Amino acid sequence: MAVPATVRAAVVPAVGAPLEITGIELPEPGPGQVRVRLAAAGVCHSDLSLSNGTMKVPLPAVLGHEGAGTVLAVGEGVTHVAPGDPVVLNWAPSCGNCPACALGEVWLCANALGGIGAVHARRADDGSELHPGLNVAAFAEETVVGANCVLPAPDGVPLTDAALLGCAVLTGYGAVHHSARVREGETVAVFGVGGVGLAALQAARIAGASRIVAVDVSAQKEELARAAGATDYVVASDTTPRAIRALTGGQGVDVAVECVGRAVTIRAAWESTRRGGRTTVVGIGGKDQQVTFNALEIFHWGRTLSGCVYGNSDPARDLPVLAGHVREGRLDLGALVTERIALDGIPAAFENMLAGKGGRALVVF
């Protein structure tokens, strides 16, 4: 019997407990599984939401869901990747059989998170069971995942950059192109200049938006936002919708993309669009974040408010498209990253996220 390999990983032991960087024992890949050595993993706000209980998953767990690496070994029946292949992790693999998948809405797959209750690994110090967070447990030097959780990495994209394709870019790009369906010449406001927001800004530029307004609580993010494609920058306040209408001839933008997940931000994004405008909500908020509208304003403004899961993206379809934008210089993955850290730097990255600092922190192994 093979001896489990010990690797370092970031573990959340319980809701609200401090993240622990510790050794874990990974089994060899079984049938239909793949073992991957991580090259890089992005620190996403969803990881923080798992840690603090906003999103509920079985704990203790190895966090991390945005990553890329190299295949080390494959289990029986795996044929689409082989040892040595570069891959991107897909934290929400579609089953192909549920009603959503039958409709082609793979981002709403009912079984996408079916693996989160499984035993992924064991702590090296006491042998206790660990779950895989959002399926892929990317905050680790190595991971073992289902074969449907790995996609061949696109040619011409460094693995450390490709890690961002697994969540931030698919989500931000998809929110603009698949959910909001921004058309050339339209005006766009993006609320929240984190990793997903920066990807949305670049996507709006790629879509040919005529005016792109970035909104964030931090004035320090203006340079980041403008480099990503923002033509205007607004520091968030109670008068944000008024400021955006002033930038658009009193009308408001055609499209608002909300990447924060707070009731006040969702409401501000909706109020910032023109009559008949569209608001796409990407941010994941808690159940206590209640957004209210009255019946008359819904009728009068004729606006559309829609949710957006994983950018309404199909990774198998969209990764080659994104790779083309990268290779042609339209999409700059490196510009999303404001900090490159080691595994031990994840707790500090969480603190920066809570403080509204920076874009994407990237763990480089």
List strands edge to edge, sheet with 20-26: 61-62, 5-12, 20-26, 121-123, 129-130
The total number of structural domains that make up the chain: 2
Helices (H), the chain: 45-52, 99-102, 159-162, 168-174, 195-207, 222-228, 240-247, 263-271, 295-301, 315-327, 346-354
Helix (H, G, I), strand (E, B) or coil at 249: coil
Verify that 126 and 205 share a domain, yes or no.
no
Residue 362's nearest CA partner among 337, 345, 328, 331 is 337
pLDDT tens readout for residues 195-242? 999 999 999 999 999 999 999 999 999 999 999 999 999 999 999 999
Residue-range definition of the domain harbouring residue 259:
171-309
Domain membership of residue 249 (yes or no) is yes
Domain membership of residue 114 (yes or no) is yes
Can you give the CATH number for the domain in which 98 is found? 3.90.180.10
Domain membership of residue 296 (yes or no) is yes
Measure Cα distances from 303 to 149, 185, 214, 253, 269 in Å: 37, 19, 20, 11, 11
Domain membership of residue 325 (yes or no) is no
Verify that 15 and 71 share a domain, yes or no.
yes
| Per-residue pLDDT band at 4 (split at 50, 70, 90) | low
Please give the single-letter amino acid code of residue 338: T
Verify that 241 and 138 share a domain, yes or no.
no
Domain membership of residue 318 (yes or no) is no
Can you give the CATH number for the domain in which 292 is found? 3.40.50.720
Residue 130's nearest CA partner among 60, 52, 63, 65 is 60
Residue 353 in this model has a pLDDT that exceeds 90: no
Domain membership of residue 119 (yes or no) is yes
Verify that 249 and 301 share a domain, yes or no.
yes
Verify that 56 and 108 share a domain, yes or no.
yes
Residue 337's nearest CA partner among 190, 203, 169, 170 is 169
Measure Cα distances from 29 to 32, 134, 227, 261 in Å: 8, 18, 42, 37
pLDDT tens readout for residues 158-194? 999 999 999 999 999 999 999 999 999 999 999 999 9
Verify that 293 and 340 share a domain, yes or no.
no
Verify that 42 and 100 share a domain, yes or no.
yes
Verify that 198 and 338 share a domain, yes or no.
no
Distance separating the N- and C-terminal Cα atoms of the chain: 28
CA atoms within a 13 Å half-sphere pointing along the CA-CB vector of 135: 22
Place of tokens 């307004």: 213
Verify that 134 and 250 share a domain, yes or no.
no
Task: Give the pTM.
Answer: 0.93
CA dist 189 and 9 (Å) reads 37
CA dist 236 and 275 (Å) reads 21
| Torsions phi, psi for 261 (to 5 deg) | 90, 30
pLDDT tens readout for residues 37-96? 999 999 998 898 888 888 889 999 999 999 999 999 999 999 999 999 999 999 999 999
| Per-residue pLDDT band at 1 (split at 50, 70, 90) | very low
